[in-house]
Amino acid sequence: MIRGDGPASPAANQPQASLNDPGQGPLDRRHLAVVINQSDPLSVRAGVGEGFRVRILRADALRNANDVMVYVTGLATVEGLASNRFRPGAVADHLTSYGGQLTPAGVPTEAGQMSALRWLEGGATGSYGTVVEPCSITAKFPDPALLMLFYRRGDTLIEAYWRSVAMPGQGVFIGEPLARPWQR
């Protein structure tokens, strides 16, 4: 069994997602975290499906969260990754122009952005990033709602990613492609 296989939580049929809200303190062990700081809450709730409780984070970074399952942000560099604990099968993305450039630790991409490898070093199972300027075409990035919809229905991580990126030609998937925390 690979690290991302099997139940995502003890109650795999009814996992919860939550965002760390600055006024409410860190997430506890019962939560899976979805961090989408610029999305429409209704589209996120519709995409992730039943069993998830979604709150939109109104801060630049998630810190001190346990059981993070999905972390998505638009920041070029994400602070506080080491303070969070990712669950097996976790997905993390920072939808930026050069996140797919795979640089050594401590070395930013050519545009000074964080490499998607930092997510894996922080404990996520998979990530995706574009390797050249995608010209702000959103179809070149994963749609977080679609990613979670497919992942939660039992697709492998690579299946869910490829179904959530309409134009994947300038991007690279990294991580464990066969992770499947939710079985069909």
- pLDDT value at position 61? 82
Residue 4: band (very low, low, confident or very high) from pLDDT cuts 50, 70, 90:
low
Closest CA to 168 of 129, 111, 135, 136: 129
Angle in degrees, 0-180, between the axes of helices 41-48 and 144-152, rounded to the nearest 10: 20
- β-bridge mates for residue 175, sequence order: 126
Mean pLDDT for the stretch of residues 105-126: 93
C-alpha pair distances (Å), 97 with each of 49, 107, 150: 29, 16, 24
- Whether the pLDDT of residue 83 is over 70: the answer is yes
**Spatial separation of the C-alpha atoms in residues 96 and 59, rounded to whole Å:** 18
Question: What residue segments make up the domains of the chain, in order of their start?
Answer: 17-175
Which pLDDT does position 58 carry in this prediction?
66
Check the CA dihedral 16-19-23-26 and report its sign: positive
* Predicted local confidence at residue 17, as pLDDT: 35
Higher per-residue pLDDT: 117 or 59: 117
Question: Structure pTM?
Answer: 0.75
Q: Which of 3, 161, 164, 171 is nearest to 102 (CA)?
A: 171
d(Cα 86, Cα 183) in Å, to the nearest integer? 19
The more confident residue out of 40 and 38 is: 40
pLDDT at site 92: 93
Q: What does the pLDDT read at residue 127?
A: 96
Q: What is the mean pLDDT of the chain?
A: 76
Sign of the alpha-carbon dihedral angle for 77, 181, 141, 43:
negative
Structure tokens at 159: 């299946």
Q: In what order do the strands lie in the sheet with 32-33?
A: 17-18, 32-33, 68-72, 86-93, 126-130, 171-175
β-strand 86-93 against 17-18: which pairing, if any? unpaired
Q: What is the pLDDT of residues 141-163, one digit of tens each?
A: 998 888 988 998 899 999 999 99
